[in-house]
Each structure stands twice: as C-alpha cells, then as structure tokens.
Amino acid sequence: MLKVENLYKTFAKNKPDEKNIFNGLNFCAKAGEFITIIGGNGAGKSTLMNIITGQTFPDSGKIR
Ligand SMILES: Nc1ncnc2c1ncn2[C@@H]1O[C@H](COP(=O)(O)OP(=O)(O)O)[C@@H](O)[C@H]1O
Ligand SMILES: [Mg+2]
C-alpha cells in the first residue's frame, strides 16, 4: 500500500515566482491497484513522483 498523507509543497516560497503545488494532498493506492495521475503541464505530476521516490522533499506531509 502507498499512502500520501497531507502533502504540502511550494517552490520558491515568498518569491515572485512562488509555485504552490500541493495543498494537503491525500490518496491511498492499494497493492496491485492501477491508478493514473492526470494534470496539465506544470500541475505537479513529476514533483509528486519525485517526492514519492525521495528525490524531492515535501514541505510537510508523509509518504508511507
Ligand atoms: N526544482 C524546482 N524548482 C522550482 N520550480 C519547480 C521545480 N520543479 C518543478 N517546479 C515547478 O513546479 C511546477 C510543477 O512541475 P512538474 O511537477 O514538473 O509538473 P508536471 O510534471 O505535472 O508537468 C511547474 O510550475 C514547475 O516549473
Ligand atoms: Mg512532468
């Protein structure tokens, strides 16, 4: 099971190009479950994958 709990991420906080990506994202994928992440260019799909794999740190929240 993969659980994303209360995930927050903002790039360039308090800067003119501040990008708020996640504001309390939650989801749970069960073992063997097929899920699709959809979103326009720049929505945060790659950032989500990078946080799940530990390449990028969230501001807060947990990956279990
Ligand atoms: N390391 C970074 N520093 C600053 N901004 C970033 C960084 N990585 C991604 N972003 C910005 O965060 C937003 C989401 O990016 P990304 O996760 O790559 O979107 P997607 O994969 O959905 O197209 C974009 O506006 C992107 O420019
Ligand atoms: Mg991407």
Atom number of ligand 1 nearest to Cα 50: 17
Confidence of residue 2 (pLDDT cuts 50, 70, 90): very high
Nearest CA to ligand 1 atom 27: 42
Indicate the residue type of 47: T
Confidence of residue 38 (pLDDT cuts 50, 70, 90): very high
Nearest CA to ligand 1 atom 5: 11
Chain mean pLDDT for the chain: 97
The pTM (predicted TM-score) of the whole model is 0.95
Confidence of residue 47 (pLDDT cuts 50, 70, 90): very high
b (16+ CB within 10 A) / e for 34-58: eeeeeeeeeebeebbeebeeeeeeb
Closest CA to 27 of 5, 46, 53: 5
* Whether the Cβ atoms of residue 31 and residue 16 lie closer than 8 Å to each other: no
CB distance 12 to ligand 1 below 6 Å: yes
Ligand nearest to the CA of 39: 1
